[in-house]
Structure 1
Amino acid sequence: MRSIPFLAALPALALAACGNPANEGEAPPASEEAMPVEPDGGIGDGAAPLDTAGGTGIPAALHGRWGLVAADCTSTRGDAKGLIEVDDRSVTFYESRATLDEVAERDGDSIRATFDFTGEGMEWTRDMALASAGGGAELVRTEYGEGAMPEPLRYTQCPSEGDA
């Protein structure tokens, strides 16, 4: 009948093998570090994210006020028809606004995406690219698809309010 004490000890041994429930929720020991995750969701060496500028909107390098001609940046009469203002989610034109929709390509100083436009009582969608040029002093806007501008437009960065 020596097997009865052994059988009685089995539940205690099984619990001991499962670990200490008092440690639940605590961080694993340093020797058990989690494997890094790649930007595409796969596992690997933990490479830097594809978007080194941070965020998912229009890259910060493209933010600001941009004019087709110098007078677009300095007009006080509200007639700066070539002025655009770019922020994280939109591009504001003289009589319309383009809101970022679906991003196709993006890096620290360029983006190509679908933009939803509204203006003068109308709505439309445009595939558009914005890219930094001239060492960051210029912005190139290119449209694609039906109804797109035939050539890219080049804007010059407007001086900041304190520089004007």
Structure 2
Amino acid sequence: MTARLICVGASLLGVAVGSCLPVASDQQAEAKSDPVTVTNPAPNATPVAEVPLEIAINQFPSGYQGRWAKSLDDCPIDPDHSENVISLQGRLLKFHESAGTMTAGKRMTSKTIEAEFDFVGEGEKWTKSIGFEMSENRQKLTRTDQDSGIDYHYVRCPKLMAG
């Protein structure tokens, strides 16, 4: 019970705690009431289950924060000057000529979040719902515009280009 409270507390703070990661074990057999999805398991590796969380968040979890680009070649470009680069920092999502502030969010699973953003840019203001899904190796990010259903794919930029 104490470990569960620590995991929930860490999740609320957006902090990764190794003991919170799902591990294939007898406990999973007991938790069959919740749907578990395993995607692309590596050969000879213990599959990692996708665990439903549905935890309220008010900023990007630490693993999501940083600069993301359509390709590694785009990483050096400032997000303010390219449609191919986004930056996720705290509550802020920076796009080309606009920035959104997370007003409400939910960590749906250990790899997915959904959030509402208030955007400003080019003299206008608007609200948008966006989903994010992290790849297994945490090097790729898919951004989904909830209104149109369009997916945008990014790769993680090196840490020196984090903002």
TM-score range, shorter chain: 0.5 to 0.7
Q: Which runs of 4+ in 1 moved over 3 A?
A: 49-54, 104-109
Residue segments in structure 2 that go unaligned for 5+ positions in a row: 14-56
Superposition RMSD in Å: 2.4
Larger of the two Rg values belongs to structure: 1
CA contact (8 A) 1:80 1:94 kept: yes
1:71 Cα deviation (Å)?
A: 2.8
- Provide the identity percentage: 25
Distance between the aligned counterparts of 2:85 and 2:154, measured in 1?
8
Distance between the aligned counterparts of 2:71 and 2:81, measured in 1?
12
TM-score by length of 1: 0.60
Distance between the aligned counterparts of 1:151 and 1:66, measured in 2?
17
- 1:50 corresponds to 2:8: yes
1:68/1:159 CA distance change after superposition, 3 Å: same
1:103 Cα deviation (Å)?
A: 1.7
TM-score by length of 2: 0.60
Tell me the amino acid that sits aligned with residue 160 of structure 1.
K
- 1:143 corresponds to 2:145: yes
CA contact (8 A) 1:60 1:108 kept: no
- 1:15-52 CA deviation, whole Å, 9 max, x = no partner? xxxxxxxxxxxxxxxxxxxxxxxxxxxxxx55325364
Distance between the aligned counterparts of 1:81 and 1:144, measured in 2?
19
Higher RCO, Cα 8 Å, sep 6+? 2
- 1:94-149 CA deviation, whole Å, 9 max, x = no partner? 1110110112444554320111111111111111111211410011101112xx3x
1:59/1:106 CA distance change after superposition, 3 Å: farther
- 1:70 corresponds to 2:65: no
Paired residue total: 114
Residue segments in structure 1 that go unaligned for 5+ positions in a row: 1-44
Distance between the aligned counterparts of 2:139 and 2:93, measured in 1?
17
Tell me the amino acid that sits aligned with residue 157 of structure 1.
R
1:53 Cα deviation (Å)?
A: 3.5
Q: Matched residue of 1:127: which SS?
A: strand
